[in-house]
Each structure stands twice: as structure tokens, then as C-alpha cells.
């Protein structure tokens, strides 16, 4: 379908969802669907819950944040379960401002934007439907029409609690337009929209000398005073401040802690009592989620000021640190690149991983745990198995520093340096070394990096380079070994014959001479040592292999080269060790002979077809690994 057809469908859908009726008819909707009368906090929680919740390794994963927020599962779970969930149940938490605190480019703004966009979509669903008094600039809850003395009776009949009072404007409209007949007041379905300022507001502080409190609470319309006779007539007032327009939904308070005090006073009453003062009117009720975000240094300055104690007690702070998992950091870069104009550039495999390793290392704190270095810690955090450590060690590490992840290199810096690498190289392909080189060069121009930090970061670049060296060698190793696939199978069959004889205490028969001989201990150890199997552990490893072969045989399956991951790795490493000289010659020879050229082309073809390289990055990888092996 073309774009105009989709626009027409969207218009038809909006017409289908629209509803308008009297307050009496709205009460019939409430009888069938009482959840329509939910609070702003409840609506946000249900929006997140309705998108689906999964539990992975004891941590809740909320599908609402999928594909946008990476590596912050613990922070998101805390946000939902310690703020939104109790607030939805009308507990005292809902009377607090939600303050997201964390380093730059850590995901705070993304979380807020997702909540705003999510509410826009959710208000178009049956579960998230929102109804308001028609013609009200604040999209007021129709249930405010129920007089206070009848609200207990209403709760007994409908099971719905009503909070808040009818606004001055609608009190006057009820009297003058509807003759106090509540049941005749017109109600309409509304749809949240930040662009149309319906249920979603955004306040950003500017120069305190020029910014007016009217930006928050609305202002007098002086052109109508002559018509209505008084500034205290609600018809002479514009209810168009951000607090007015965000009613029923949420308001983002950008850089809240930089605001002039007079702007924050209104939040004291709004959060605790659910109302705020505007013009010469009684308190105006508002039901909205207020979300602010800031960095750690600003927050520390804020709480150090005794004048802010009243507001501080009405804030719930949720930490949003940097992601500390390499695999998730890669996904952040992939997302940012996909959203940019760089998506056409070929980024060689592992280039983003190496950048992620560097970034995560800058965010980690040195553990006091014996034998634990940053590389091991990084791997444990990323879910890798590290010999000598288990999940209990991981939990201890995660609890060791409360503020881990609150500092370090941010994702925007990495993407900026990748952009710089692309522009500098002027080719449609970059590799891991290009990225690391660009990261290193950028440290000189990073304004907030101290001399001590720079020295640490240079060390992390070296560590990331070492990690890449191992990755690169393994990549070429796999490609070469596959080119010698028959050799790998033969080596494995030979190893298995010897393991079977060793475990069953049998002899082997020489296929040429026919004489009996003992299992070849030297061959078995030369393979096992490739993956760090010690002399003491060799018997258990060999028995494990034999058990796996028996299990396959019982199921009628053939045990082959791919049936045991660690054995496959050991065979590959052993074969690669034996082939090192061949690799050196074929990768470093300026004028390879025909056989060498054929082998190199086979390896490049495999790197391109099965490992995600293009011919340029595959050739660069081979040359680099050749230089590593020749050192």
C-alpha cells in the first residue's frame, strides 16, 4: 500500500475510535469497563505491563523497553516495581516526582521519550482509553462532576474512587451551559499527543529573568477581561501551561534542578495534594506523572542546599547508570548506527565489540576480590563463564559498588569516533583497528577527561586491542581450519579412538603393522592443553567425551565434529597451531604461489560468506593476523 493509502487508513481509524456522549452515557461505559477511570500512574504501569513481562535468570524483562534500552534490566525493574507499580495501587509513592539520575547518554531521555510515545499509542487502545469533559482545555476527568458528598455512594456502586475537584472553568460551565444538570455534560474520548499538547507536556527552563510562571500554570487573557469583567472569571484565563496540558498523562520536567525556585514551589502542592494554584482561583486539581532527569553532580548540589529539603522529600530518585555488559553495549551502537546516515558503511565484525569492550572497561571499578581483574569482571558481567568463579561471585561483584556505571565513556563519544574513522578513511568499510585508533585520537580532544583518566583510558585501549588480537586469530583460525576440514575430522577421529582405548583400558591396533600399542598420551594431551585441561582434569574430560558419544549412540545420532563445543575448539586450536607456518606464509607472502593464492581465496570467501566480512575487511584481517603470527 502506498503512503497516501496508509494515511487514509489512519484517518479512518481515528474516526472509528472517536466517541462523544453525555455524562450519563459515560457512566454506562464505566459499568462495563471500570478500568477506563484509572489514574495517570496506573495508566503508565498498565501500558508497560500489557506489553508483556518475561523473567530471565531471576530478573524481570519488560517488553515495552525492548529494542531501545539495552543492559539496564535491573534499573528498569526497579523503576517499574518500586515506582510505577505501587503508584498504580494508589500508594504514597504516586505523590512523588520521579527523578531519573545518571550520566550523560545513559538512557534517561530515551526512557522518558518511550513513555511519552507509548502513552500516545496506548490511549488509542481499548485498555488505555481516556475520556474527558468536552471543551475543557485541561482534559478534565468527567468524574470530577460527581459532588463530594455523593462520592462514597458512587464508590459503593461502581467500585471506583474519585480524587480531585471540578476546575473553576468547568464549575462555571456546569452552571451556565448545563443548568447544573451533571448528566447532560458532554464527554469525549481524547487521545494523548505531545504535539497537540493533549495529556503530555514538556517543560524546559530558560533564562530565569525572562521565563514566566505562566509557562507552567497558564495566564490571564487580557483581551477578554472587558468581555467578562474580571480577572477572576475563569473564562478570562488561558489554562494552557504545561501543568494544565499534561493533566491525565505525564509531564517531562527537563533539567528540573536548574530551575528557579518559584517554578518548583508549584510542584510541592501538585505532588502531595494533587493540585496547584493558578491565577485568582481556588486550587486546581491535576492528575499527572511528573518525570525529571538530571546528572549526579547536579543532584548532589541540589540536596546539599538546605532550602531544597521540602522538595527533596517529595522526590524519588531512580539511578540510570551506564550499561556494563559488552554484548548489550554493542546493541546500543548498532541501534545508533541504524538510526544515522552511516548505515550503508560496512563495519567489520567485532569492530563494535572492541569499542564496547573499551567503553565498559572505563565504567567498571577495580574489585577488592582476590584474583579479580577488570577483564574477568567484564566477562562475568556479560554472562561468560570464567574459570574459578560462579553466579555467587557475580552477585557479590554487583553489590560491591553502589555507584558503578555512573562514570566512564558514553555511547555518543563512541559513535562520534566511529563517524570520524569513516570520514578519515574515506572508504565504505572500517575495522576494529580503525575504531580503536579513532578512540585513542579522540581522547586528546575530550574536554572532560583529566590527565589521570586519559592514562587509564589508554591502558583500556591496549586491553581492548589484546582482546581483539585473540578474536582476530580465532576468526582466521576457524576459516583456515574449515579449509582443512578433512584434516580436522581425521584429527578428531584419531583423538576419539585414543580416548576410548584409554577409558576402557584397551590397546589400539596399528592399521599398517597390525601390532598392538598403548593410547597415544602425547597426542591426547597436545589437544587437551589447547583449552587448558590440566593433567588432573584430563581423566574427567575424556570420560565426559565418552558419555556424550554413548548418549548420541542411544538416540541413534552420529557424534561428529560439532557435537562437543570444547572438543571442537581444542581440535581447531591444535590444527591451527600445526598450520601456523602455512598461515604465516600465505598471509605475509607478497607474491604467493598458485597453491597459496588458492588457499587465501578460500579463506577470504569463507570470511565473507559465513562471518560477515566484505573482501576489503577480510583481506585486512588476514594481513593483521599474519603480522601477529610473525612477531
- pLDDT tens-digit profile of 478-505? 787 766 677 778 888 889 989 999 998 8
Looking at the structure, do residues 39 and 130 belong to the same domain, yes or no?
yes
Average pLDDT over residues 204-219: 78
Q: Which of 113-122, 479-488, 531-540 has the lowest mean pLDDT?
A: 479-488
**577, 610, 626 - which closes a domain:** 577
Q: In what order do the strands lie in the sheet containing 186-190?
A: 20-22, 186-190, 130-133
The per-residue pLDDT for 582 is 66
Would you mind telling me the total number of residues written for the chain in this entry? 631
Residue 211 predicted with pLDDT over 80: no
Using CA atoms, how far apart are residues 498 and 523, in angstroms rounded to an integer?
Answer: 9
Looking at the structure, do residues 153 and 81 belong to the same domain, yes or no?
yes
Band of residue 370 on the pLDDT scale cut at 50, 70, 90: confident
In the numeric block, the cell 538512557 is attached to 107
| Eight-class DSSP state of 283 | P
Looking at the structure, do residues 217 and 90 belong to the same domain, yes or no?
yes
Q: In what order do the strands lie in the sheet containing 250-254?
A: 200-203, 250-254, 289-294, 97-101, 315-319
Band of residue 221 on the pLDDT scale cut at 50, 70, 90: confident
Strands (E) in 116-268, as ranges, are: 130-133, 186-190, 200-203, 219-220, 237-238, 250-254
Contact 450, 362 (CB under 8 A): no
Average pLDDT over residues 113-125: 95
* Within a domain: 617: no
**Residue span of the structural domain in which 566 resides:** 484-577
* Within a domain: 595: no
Average pLDDT over residues 374-401: 89
Nearest to 569 by CA among 439, 496, 474: 474
- pLDDT tens per residue, range 547-558: 998 888 888 888
Contact 595, 617 (CB under 8 A): no
**3-state secondary structure at position 357:** helix
- pLDDT tens per residue, range 271-282: 888 888 887 788
Average pLDDT over residues 532-560: 89
- pLDDT tens per residue, range 1-47: 689 999 999 889 889 999 999 999 999 999 999 999 999 999 999 99
For residues 161 and 343, which has the higher predicted lDDT (pLDDT)? Answer: 161
Band of residue 306 on the pLDDT scale cut at 50, 70, 90: confident
Using CA atoms, how far apart are residues 305 and 359, in angstroms rounded to an integer?
Answer: 34
Band of residue 587 on the pLDDT scale cut at 50, 70, 90: low
* Within a domain: 306: yes
Looking at the structure, do residues 93 and 239 belong to the same domain, yes or no?
yes
Task: Find which of 83-97, 416-430, 484-498 is predicted with most confidence, using mean pLDDT.
Answer: 83-97
* Within a domain: 524: yes
Tell me the pLDDT of the chain averaged across its residues.
Answer: 88
Looking at the structure, do residues 263 and 335 belong to the same domain, yes or no?
no
Nearest to 323 by CA among 587, 8, 68: 68
Query: 557's torsion region: left (phi>0), alpha (psi -120 to 50) or beta?
Result: beta
Q: Cα angle vertex 571, ends 568, 573, to 5°?
A: 110
Looking at the structure, do residues 149 and 79 belong to the same domain, yes or no?
yes
Residue 586 predicted with pLDDT over 80: no
Q: Cα angle vertex 626, ends 347, 525, to 5°?
A: 110
Using CA atoms, how far apart are residues 90 and 162, in angstroms rounded to an integer?
Answer: 12
Which H or E run includes 249? none
| Eight-class DSSP state of 80 | I
**480, 508, 540 - which closes a domain:** 480
Residue 592 predicted with pLDDT over 70: no
Task: Find which of 94-108, 188-202, 203-217 is predicted with most confidence, using mean pLDDT.
Answer: 188-202
* Within a domain: 606: no
Using CA atoms, how far apart are residues 287 and 244, in angstroms rounded to an integer?
Answer: 10
* Within a domain: 425: yes
CATH number for the domain spanning 257: value is 3.40.50.300
Looking at the structure, do residues 335 and 302 belong to the same domain, yes or no?
no
Looking at the structure, do residues 374 and 495 belong to the same domain, yes or no?
no
- pLDDT tens per residue, range 184-202: 999 999 999 999 999 999 9
User: What Rg value do the Cα atoms of the chain yield, rounded?
Assistant: 33
223, with CB counted inside 10 A (0-12, 13-18, 19+), is: exposed
Using CA atoms, how far apart are residues 72 and 395, in angstroms rounded to an integer?
Answer: 16
Q: How many domains does one find in the chain?
A: 3
Q: Which long-range CB contacts under 8 A does 16-20 form with residues at least 24 apart?
A: 17/124, 17/189, 17/191, 18/188, 18/189, 19/131, 19/188, 19/189, 20/134, 20/186, 20/187, 20/188, 20/189
Beta-strand pair 186-190/130-133: antiparallel
Using CA atoms, how far apart are residues 250 and 41, in angstroms rounded to an integer?
Answer: 9
Q: What percentage of the chain has pLDDT greater than the value 70?
A: 95
Looking at the structure, do residues 287 and 240 belong to the same domain, yes or no?
yes
In the numeric block, the cell 496540558 is attached to 245
For residues 502 and 590, which has the higher predicted lDDT (pLDDT)? Answer: 502
Look up residue 224 and give its three cell numbers: 477578554
**3-state secondary structure at position 487:** helix
Q: What percentage of the chain has pLDDT greater than the value 90?
A: 44
Using CA atoms, how far apart are residues 303 and 305, in angstroms rounded to an integer?
Answer: 5
* Within a domain: 312: yes
* pTM of the complete model: 0.83
Which H or E run includes 516? strand 516-517
Looking at the structure, do residues 457 and 505 belong to the same domain, yes or no?
no
The per-residue pLDDT for 197 is 93
Looking at the structure, do residues 290 and 414 belong to the same domain, yes or no?
no
| Eight-class DSSP state of 428 | S
Using CA atoms, how far apart are residues 239 and 9, in angstroms rounded to an integer?
Answer: 33
Beta-strand pair 346-347/429-430: parallel
Looking at the structure, do residues 247 and 385 belong to the same domain, yes or no?
no
Cα torsion 353, 358, 363, 367: sign: positive
- pLDDT tens per residue, range 223-244: 788 778 777 788 888 888 899 9
Contact 68, 79 (CB under 8 A): no
Q: Which residues pair with 201 in a beta bridge?
A: 251
Cα torsion 375, 380, 384, 390: sign: positive
The per-residue pLDDT for 1 is 66
The per-residue pLDDT for 448 is 74
The per-residue pLDDT for 69 is 92
Which residues are within 8 A (CB) of 360 and not within 5 positions of it... i.e. 6 or more apart? 323, 324, 325, 326, 329, 378, 381, 408
Which residues are within 8 A (CB) of 458 and not within 5 positions of it... i.e. 6 or more apart? 440, 443
**480, 502, 521 - which closes a domain:** 480
* Within a domain: 625: no
Q: Helical H runs in 80-133?
A: 85-88, 108-122
Contact 584, 629 (CB under 8 A): yes
Average pLDDT over residues 423-429: 72
Using CA atoms, how far apart are residues 291 and 185, in angstroms rounded to an integer?
Answer: 32
Q: Helical H runs in 210-284?
A: 214-217, 225-228, 242-245, 261-273
Amino acid at each position: 500500500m502506498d503512503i497516501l493509502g496508509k494515511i487514509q487508513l489512519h484517518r479512518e481509524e481515528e474516526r472509528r475510535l472517536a466517541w462523544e456522549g453525555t455524562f450519563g452515557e459515560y457512566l454506562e461505559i464505566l459499568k462495563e469497563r471500570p478500568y477506563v477511570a484509572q489514574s495517570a500512574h496506573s495508566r503508565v504501569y498498565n501500558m508497560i505491563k500489557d506489553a508483556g513481562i518475561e523473567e530471565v535468570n531471576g530478573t524481570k524483562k519488560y517488553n515495552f523497553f525492548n529494542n531501545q534500552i539495552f543492559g539496564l534490566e535491573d534499573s528498569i525493574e526497579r523503576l517499574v516495581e518500586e515506582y510505577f507499580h505501587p503508584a498504580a495501587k494508589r500508594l504514597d509513592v504516586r505523590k512523588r516526582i520521579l527523578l531519573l539520575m545518571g550520566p550523560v547518554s545513559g538512557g534517561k531521555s530515551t526512557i522518558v521519550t518511550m513513555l511519552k510515545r507509548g502513552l500516545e499509542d496506548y490511549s488509542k487502545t481499548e485498555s488505555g482509553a481516556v475520556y474527558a469533559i468536552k471543551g475543557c482545555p485541561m482534559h478534565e476527568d468527567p468524574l470530577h462532576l460527581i459532588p463530594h458528598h455523593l462520592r462514597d455512594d458512587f464508590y459503593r456502586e461502581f467500585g471506583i474512587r474519585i480524587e480531585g475537584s471540578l476546575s473553576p472553568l468547568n464549575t462555571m460551565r456546569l452552571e451556565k451551559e448545563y443548568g447544573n444538570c451533571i448528566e447532560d455534560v458532554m464527554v469525549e474520548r481524547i487521545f494523548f499527543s505531545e504535539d497537540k499538547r493533549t495529556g503530555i507536556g514538556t517543560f524546559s527552563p530558560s533564562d530565569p529573568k525572562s521565563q514566566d510562571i505562566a509557562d507552567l500554570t497558564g495566564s490571564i487573557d487580557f483581551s477578554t477581561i472587558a468581555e467578562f469583567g474580571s480577572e477572576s472569571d475563569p473564562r478570562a484565563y488561558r489554562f494552557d501551561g504545561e501543568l494544565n496540558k499534561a493533566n491525565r498523562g505525564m509531564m517531562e520536567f527537563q533539567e528540573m534542578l536548574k530551575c528557579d525556585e518559584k517554578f518548583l514551589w508549584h510542584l510541592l502542592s501538585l505532588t502531595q495534594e494533587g493540585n496547584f494554584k493558578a491565577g485568582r482561583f481556588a486550587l486546581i486539581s491535576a492528575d499527572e506523572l511528573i518525570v525529571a532527569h538530571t546528572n549526579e553532580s547536579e543532584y548532589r548540589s541540589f540536596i546539599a542546599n538546605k532550602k531544597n529539603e521540602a522538595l527533596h522529600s517529595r522526590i524519588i530518585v531512580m539511578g540510570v547508570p551506564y550499561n556494563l555488559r559488552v554484548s548489550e553495549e554493542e546493541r546500543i551502537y548498532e541501534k545508533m548506527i541504524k538510526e544515522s546516515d552511516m548505515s550503508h558503511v560496512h563495519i567489520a565484525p567485532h569492530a563494535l565489540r572492541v569499542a564496547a569492550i573499551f567503553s565498559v572497561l572505563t565504567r567498571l571499578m577495580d574489585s577488592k576480590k582476590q584474583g579479580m581483574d577488570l577483564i574477568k569482571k567484564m566477562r562475568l558481567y556479560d554472562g561468560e563463564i570464567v574459570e574459578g568463579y560462579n553466579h555467587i561471585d557475580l552477585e557479590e561483584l554487583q553489590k560491591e559498588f553502589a555507584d558503578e556505571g555512573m562514570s566512564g565513556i558514553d555511547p555518543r563519544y563512541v559513535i562520534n569516533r566511529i563517524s570520524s574513522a569513516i570520514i578519515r578513511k574515506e572508504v565504505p568499510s572500517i575495522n576494529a583497528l580503525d575504531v580503536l585508533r579513532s578512540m585513542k585520537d579522540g581522547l586528546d580532544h575530550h574536554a572532560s577527561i583529566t590527565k589521570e583518566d586519559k592514562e587509564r583510558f589508554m591502558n583500556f585501549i591496549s586491553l581492548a586491542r589484546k582482546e581483539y588480537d585473540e578474536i582476530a586469530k580465532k576468526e582466521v583460525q576457524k576459516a583456515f581450519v574449515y579449509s582443512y576440514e578433512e584434516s580436522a575430522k581425521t584429527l578428531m577421529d584419531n583423538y576419539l579412538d585414543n580416548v576410548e582405548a584409554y577409558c576402557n583400558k584397551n590397546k589400539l591396533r596399528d592399521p599398517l603393522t597390525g601390532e598392538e600399542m598403548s593410547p597415544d598420551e602425547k597426542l591426547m594431551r597436545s589437544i587437551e592443553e589447547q583449552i587448558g585441561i590440566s593433567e588432573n582434569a584430563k581423566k574427567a574430560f575424556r570420560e565426559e567425551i565418552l558419555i556424550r558419544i554413548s548418549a548420541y549412540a542411544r538416540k541413534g545420532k552420529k557424534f561428529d565434529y560439532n557435537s562437543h563445543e570444547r572438543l571442537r575448539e581444542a581440535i581447531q586450536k591444535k590444527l591451527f597451531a600445526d598450520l601456523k607456518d602455512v598461515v604465516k606464509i600465505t598471509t605475509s607472502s607478497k607474491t604467493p604461489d598458485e597453491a597459496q593464492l588458492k588457499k587465501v581465496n578460500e579463506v577470504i570467501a569463507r570470511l565473507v560468506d559465513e562471518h560477515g566480512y566484505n573482501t576489503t575487511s577480510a583481506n585486512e584481517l588476514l594481513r593483521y593476523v599474519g603480522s601477529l603470527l610473525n612477531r
